[in-house]
Chains A and B, each alone.
Chain A
């Protein structure tokens, strides 16, 4: 109220007329630097409206003078990254796996590229560190059911295991218990024998009984001494690594019901350069042959 200005006795500054419990608010002006910054911001904002996309319209928005678009910005950055990678990817596309591994530049690029491709496509089953889970092999170790050379790994990635691809790797173990191929007692004996050849605690008498059963039923695929046979995708039984567990109960379960997983064929899902990078990466995890 301009006609009724009240001034504070101590400071001589007029009050706003607001009062809370006897405390009155002084009508100090805004600091000038603040005010000028405020005005400058307004001018800046007007400039911004003109230069950059700002105002929403009904079905689109104002485009601004320089035609900036954050989406286009991302597209450009991606295109830029793709162009930067192309020099390596083009070479990887035509190079053999051995050539890639002997060229430190291509090797490093493949290891990095393979790692990110692995995280996107493979880690769901094999784990982020390729450490595997029960039924999904650990790719860090030196036990390979289908072979651990870069070429074998590449073939596995291409065609998968028990996939719908014509060239897929395929093996099938009979369900000895479920299909009535072996008696319960025989299964128990053969399990003791497998425990024996893998160097674990076992019942010596039962294992001796299991030996002929193993020779008759299992050795054609798993080998005389359980050393495995890659052509049939038959795992080695005489080592410390088990896909579905190596204790008495897990073995009984496997012999009775048979177990095997499926890996999809990636040949139509990933391009050749990516599969090569994946093969090189998986091979580098420590168990490559």
Chain B
């Protein structure tokens, strides 16, 4: 801002000291063009309730991300003591008291269903809360802007610095900023890998250059993406790369609380003048503070738009101005379309309806999926068998005319101790079961937290051989605690 306009703004609003900022909403609809190069946005610092809330959410989400792998959880011997661990080499996923094997990945599916339904619910209640407060892109971009402000100053100082000719000061400030960004990126990538191995061991390995190559390359890739997404691309990720802005339009309705500008109260907008009559004009004094703080480069007064991530910083900016000029707050606020229409019709505002068909349905679905998951988790078996019937040959004729079938049976021992089992069949008359490598059908030993494979033969005399096929069950019983697993398979014989 040049001195002339600064002087002008001081002249127009000496009593309230609200500067009118010469800022263009670079991403507003009229300026949208696929071939246009990106115009850099210099978000001004906002102060207020929502800014504070965003700092808190940022602190909480970053704390969870960085600290979660360091939480310990005792699972007894023969098991890792890390609360959250995705163990690819051993093919196990640990989450506090939950431990799942690869074939139980449907738990993850359930979790993702709940997550997406929760996203739908929150969006239908209060718009893009996820985008504005908790999305990693928002959190890290916010962090990067904070670093930028620390090294280069606020909006106007940054603009001046960018326009200034090359100098030691400029190079120093820019270098420090980029170094800090890269360090944050490295910490981000560094924290990620701790979810995939024992964190304390990996930390030591990482610094003594003992860690696997994939750890270093993961850190490198995530450092790069964090640096590029948070430092360079910023709002472009949301506008051009993310599908969520396209979906959200279908998720909000007329009762959703959405960051909006009350045009019915603000218009007609006009610059602030002393001793003017508020009755004949709107409350918006066109100071452009809401545009200056916007990290997306839009003007909220243009109404709902795809770029808006509902970060609510414009609410803070506007409320500050309204306080200074002594007008009611909430010219920009979380507002519903219903109330917008009611005000237009001269009716009093109503409280936002929280219980609506869609919020109730979303909640019910979340509860349902959650209960199903809980039920399956509680009844999760620590013993499972997989049976593979031999296909070649399907059956073998024995010298006494009897028929024998071969099976490969895998016993999954999901306990962290060695277990011994007995195998039997059910539903096949006069069947003789033999296990390769064992005398008899008992003493099938499976190591702790492992799967063991056995070759099992089932023979029936000619008189009992079924015509073609017959279904029957294998039963595996833990010799120690009587825990059983039953699985059905087929016995084949000539037709």
Mask of A43-56 contacts with B, CB within 8 angstroms, 1/0: 00000000000000
* A104 B437 Cβ-Cβ under 8 A: yes
Bound: A28/B36 CA distance, A = 11
Residue from A28, A32, A140, A199 within 8 A of B396 (CB atoms): A140
Bound: A129/B398 CA distance, A = 16
Given contacts A131-B392, A141-B396, A240-B399, contact A286 B437 (CB under 8 A): no
Bound: A141/B401 CA distance, A = 11
Closest to B457 in A: A286
Residue from B392, B400, B404, B455 within 8 A of A240 (CB atoms): B400
List of B residues within 8 angstroms of A285 by Cβ:
406
* A143 B399 Cβ-Cβ under 8 A: yes
List of B residues within 8 angstroms of A138 by Cβ:
393, 396
Question: What is the predominant secondary structure among interface residues of chain A facing chain B?
Answer: loop
Bound: A129/B390 CA distance, A = 9
* B399 A142 Cβ-Cβ under 8 A: yes
| Most A Cβ at <10 Å: residue of B396, B401, B436, B457 | B396
**B278 on interface, CB distance cutoff 8 Å:** no
**B397 on interface, CB distance cutoff 8 Å:** yes
**A96 on interface, CB distance cutoff 8 Å:** no
* A101 B437 Cβ-Cβ under 8 A: yes
Bound: A220/B400 CA distance, A = 23
**B88 on interface, CB distance cutoff 8 Å:** no
* B437 A141 Cβ-Cβ under 8 A: no
**B35 on interface, CB distance cutoff 8 Å:** yes
Q: List B401-438 residues whose CB lies under 8 Å from chain A.
A: 401, 404, 406, 436-437
* A240 B397 Cβ-Cβ under 8 A: yes
Bound: A138/B398 CA distance, A = 10
**A241 on interface, CB distance cutoff 8 Å:** yes
Mask of B460-476 contacts with A, CB within 8 angstroms, 1/0: 00100000000000000
List of B residues within 8 angstroms of A240 by Cβ:
397-401, 462
* B393 A131 Cβ-Cβ under 8 A: yes
List of A residues within 8 angstroms of B391 by Cβ:
129
List of B residues within 8 angstroms of A239 by Cβ:
399-401
Mask of A278-289 contacts with B, CB within 8 angstroms, 1/0: 000000111100
Bound: A50/B157 CA distance, A = 47
Query: How many contacts A-B (CB < 8 Å)?
Result: 56
Given contacts A104-B437, A129-B392, A138-B393, contact A284 B399 (CB under 8 A): no
Given contacts A28-B35, A101-B437, A104-B437, contact A286 B400 (CB under 8 A): no
* A241 B437 Cβ-Cβ under 8 A: no
Q: List A127-168 residues whose CB lies under 8 Å from chain B.
A: 127-131, 138, 140-143
Closest to A198 in B: B401
Closest to B392 in A: A129
Closest to B399 in A: A239
Mask of A239-275 contacts with B, CB within 8 angstroms, 1/0: 1110000000000000000000000000000000000
Bound: A259/B205 CA distance, A = 70
**A236 on interface, CB distance cutoff 8 Å:** yes
Given contacts A129-B390, A131-B393, contact A140 B406 (CB under 8 A): yes
Bound: A219/B328 CA distance, A = 117
Closest to A240 in B: B401
Closest to B33 in A: A11
List of A residues within 8 angstroms of B400 by Cβ:
239-240
List of B residues within 8 angstroms of A199 by Cβ:
401
Residue from B398, B399, B462 within 8 A of A236 (CB atoms): B399
* B404 A286 Cβ-Cβ under 8 A: yes
Give the bracket for the number of chain A residues in contact with chain B.
20 to 34
Given contacts A127-B392, A286-B404, contact A142 B398 (CB under 8 A): yes
Q: List B370-398 residues whose CB lies under 8 Å from chain A.
A: 390-393, 396-398
* B396 A284 Cβ-Cβ under 8 A: no
Bound: A239/B402 CA distance, A = 11
**A218 on interface, CB distance cutoff 8 Å:** no
**A191 on interface, CB distance cutoff 8 Å:** no
**A107 on interface, CB distance cutoff 8 Å:** yes
Mask of A92-133 contacts with B, CB within 8 angstroms, 1/0: 000000000100100100000000000000000001111100
Closest to A236 in B: B399
List of A residues within 8 angstroms of B406 by Cβ:
140, 285-286
List of B residues within 8 angstroms of A104 by Cβ:
437
Bound: A13/B393 CA distance, A = 72
* A241 B397 Cβ-Cβ under 8 A: yes
Closest to B393 in A: A131
Closest to B434 in A: A286
With both chains docked as a complex, state the minimum distance between the C-beta of B1 and any C-beta of chain A, in angstroms.
30
List of B residues within 8 angstroms of A129 by Cβ:
390-393
Bound: A127/B404 CA distance, A = 18
* B399 A128 Cβ-Cβ under 8 A: no
Bound: A15/B455 CA distance, A = 73
With both chains docked as a complex, state the minimum distance between the C-beta of B273 and any C-beta of chain A, in angstroms.
40
List of B residues within 8 angstroms of A128 by Cβ:
392
| Most B Cβ at <10 Å: residue of A28, A129, A140 | A140
Residue from B35, B390, B393, B436 within 8 A of A284 (CB atoms): B436
Mask of A193-225 contacts with B, CB within 8 angstroms, 1/0: 000000100000000000000000000000000
List of A residues within 8 angstroms of B392 by Cβ:
127-129, 131
* A141 B390 Cβ-Cβ under 8 A: no
Closest to B406 in A: A286
Q: List B439-495 residues whose CB lies under 8 Å from chain A.
A: 455, 457, 462
List of B residues within 8 angstroms of A241 by Cβ:
397-399
With both chains docked as a complex, state the minimum distance between the C-beta of B241 and any C-beta of chain A, in angstroms.
12
Bound: A13/B36 CA distance, A = 12
Given contacts A107-B437, A286-B404, A286-B406, contact A140 B393 (CB under 8 A): yes
Bound: A140/B398 CA distance, A = 9
Mask of B13-45 contacts with A, CB within 8 angstroms, 1/0: 000000000000000000000010100000000
Residues of A within 8 A of B (CB): 13, 28, 32, 101, 104, 107, 127-131, 138, 140-143, 199, 236, 239-241, 284-287
Extra 20 A-B pairs, beta carbons < 8 Å, given A13-B35, A140-B404, A140-B406: A127-B393, A128-B392, A129-B392, A129-B393, A130-B393, A131-B393, A131-B396, A138-B396, A140-B396, A142-B398, A143-B399, A236-B399, A240-B397, A240-B400, A240-B401, A241-B397, A241-B398, A241-B399, A285-B406, A287-B396
Residues of B within 8 A of A (CB): 35, 37, 390-393, 396-401, 404, 406, 436-437, 455, 457, 462
List the 6 closest A-B pairs by CB distance, nearest first: A129-B392, A239-B399, A131-B393, A240-B401, A140-B396, A143-B399
Interchain residue pairs with CB less than 8 A apart (26): A13-B35, A101-B437, A107-B437, A129-B392, A131-B392, A131-B396, A138-B393, A138-B396, A140-B396, A140-B404, A140-B406, A141-B397, A141-B399, A141-B404, A142-B399, A143-B399, A236-B399, A239-B399, A240-B399, A240-B400, A240-B401, A241-B397, A284-B437, A286-B404, A286-B406, A286-B457
